[in-house]
């Protein structure tokens, strides 16, 4: 069995017992035969899938319940395996597949201006209702909040963060600020309100820019904001 031979090359100081989907056992490396770490494959196609691309197929199969580990936790099994592999690749075929996949992702995901606009539209130009479910409702901030007390709300913690940033920037009236990726304008609004600075916000989302313009007028800050 090719997979068993591959595992035998990997495990030099320790080892496992491999059991395939038909119940055939293989000693790979030097396992503790009294209480061996055992890898059970419940699908026959794993015999070749784990050889071809183990980096991808092992976690996928484990999540589907097609692999069982006995006498060790998943963490213990992975630690033992990676301790044996070190910085080397598991096998050449897995290495080549990984490189081909990375090259394919580079060309298909390369973020050209047109693709960037399309991606942003897909994520943000869908209304605000979704984002109000998990972001603070006042500013819709994505980045981490700053909790100073255990019982603070998300809205208060996000306001703490914005206040802290503005204080560290030491802004003065008349300063010109560029907010790249301004989102729904929470930071820009607070900078303009607290520091009387001229703030220009940039976003690829037409929905966010429309919202910022309307919100600036509502807050009477449109004289400071230029989205």
Question: Does 200 lie in the same domain as 132?
Answer: yes
- Which DSSP symbol is given to 225? B
- Which DSSP symbol is given to 148? S
Average pLDDT taken over every residue of the chain: 88
User: What are 38-53's pLDDT values in tens digits?
Assistant: 999 999 999 999 988 8
User: What are 85-117's pLDDT values in tens digits?
Assistant: 876 666 665 666 667 767 777 776 777 777 788
User: What are 116-166's pLDDT values in tens digits?
Assistant: 888 888 888 887 888 889 999 999 998 999 999 999 999 999 999 999 999
Residue 164 pLDDT? 96
Question: Does 156 lie in the same domain as 86?
Answer: no
Residue 224, domain member (yes or no): no
User: What are 158-190's pLDDT values in tens digits?
Assistant: 999 999 999 999 999 989 999 999 999 999 999
Question: Does 131 lie in the same domain as 86?
Answer: no
Angle between helices 206-218 and 113-124 (to 10 degrees): 60
CATH of the domain at 149: 3.40.50.150
Residue 148, domain member (yes or no): yes
Question: Does 70 lie in the same domain as 12?
Answer: yes
Question: Does 159 lie in the same domain as 88?
Answer: no
Residue 77, domain member (yes or no): yes
Q: Among residues 166, 176, 49, 34, which one has the least CA distance to residue 17?
A: 34
Question: Does 138 lie in the same domain as 87?
Answer: no
pTM of the full predicted structure? 0.55
Strand pairing class (25-29; 15-19): antiparallel
Own/partner pairs, 133-142, CB within 8 angstroms, 24+ separation = 138/186, 139/184, 139/186, 139/187, 139/189, 139/190, 140/183, 140/184, 140/186, 141/183, 141/186, 141/187, 142/183
Question: Does 80 lie in the same domain as 15?
Answer: yes
Cβ proximity of 35 and 71 under 8 Å: yes
**Domain that includes residue 47, residue range:** 2-98
Of 98, 116, 144, which closes a domain?
98
The number of distinct structural domains making up the chain is 2
Q: Tokens 């503790």 label which residue?
A: 32
Residue 14, domain member (yes or no): yes
Residue of 91 and 22 predicted with greater confidence: 22
DSSP per-residue string spanning 51-120 = HH-HHHHHHHHHHTT-EEEESS-HHHHHHHHHHHHTTS-S-HHHHHHHHHHHHHHHHHH---HHHHHHHH
Cα(103)–Cα(47) distance, rounded to whole angstroms?
A: 27
Question: Does 130 lie in the same domain as 94?
Answer: no
Q: Among residues 168, 152, 162, 214, which one has the least CA distance to residue 193?
A: 162
Question: Does 147 lie in the same domain as 88?
Answer: no
Indicate the burial class of 86 (C-beta count within 10 angstroms; 0-12, 13-18, 19 or more). Answer: exposed
Q: Please check the confidence at residue 84 and state whether its pLDDT lies above 90.
A: no
Burial 87-104 (b: 16+ CB within 10 A, else e): eeebbeebeebeeeeeee
Mean pLDDT for 78-83 is: 89
Q: Please check the confidence at residue 23 and state whether its pLDDT lies above 80.
A: yes
Question: Does 89 lie in the same domain as 31?
Answer: yes
Residue 48, domain member (yes or no): yes
Angle at 213 between CA 210 and CA 219, to 5 degrees: 135
Residue 211, domain member (yes or no): yes
Residue of 87 and 209 predicted with greater confidence: 209
Residue 53, domain member (yes or no): yes
Cβ proximity of 216 and 227 under 8 Å: yes
Residue 76, domain member (yes or no): yes
């Amino acid at each position: 069995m090719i997979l068993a031979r591959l595992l035998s090359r990997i495990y030099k100081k320790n080892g496992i017992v491999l059991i395939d989907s038909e119940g055939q056992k293989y000693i790979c490396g030097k396992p503790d035969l009294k209480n061996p770490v055992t890898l059970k494959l419940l699908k026959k196609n794993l015999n070749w899938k784990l050889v071809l691309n183990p980096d991808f197929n092992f976690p996928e199969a484990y999540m589907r319940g097609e692999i069982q580990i006995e006498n060790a936790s998943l963490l213990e099994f992975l630690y033992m395996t990676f301790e044996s592999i070190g910085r080397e690749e598991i096998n050449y075929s897995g290495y080549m597949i990984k490189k081909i996949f990375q090259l394919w992702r580079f060309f298909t995901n390369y973020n050209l201006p047109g693709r960037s606009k399309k991606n942003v539209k897909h994520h943000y130009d869908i209304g605000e209702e979704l984002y109000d479910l998990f972001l603070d409702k006042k500013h819709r901030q994505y980045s981490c909040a700053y909790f100073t007390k255990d019982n603070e709300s998300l809205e208060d913690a996000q306001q703490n963060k914005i206040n802290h940033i503005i204080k560290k920037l030491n802004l003065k009236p008349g300063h010109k600020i560029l907010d790249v990726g301004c989102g729904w304008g929470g930071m820009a609004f607070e900078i303009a309100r607290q520091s009387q600075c001229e703030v220009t916000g940039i976003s690829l989302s037409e929905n966010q820019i429309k919202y910022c313009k309307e919100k600036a007028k509502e807050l009477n800050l449109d004289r400071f904001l230029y989205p």
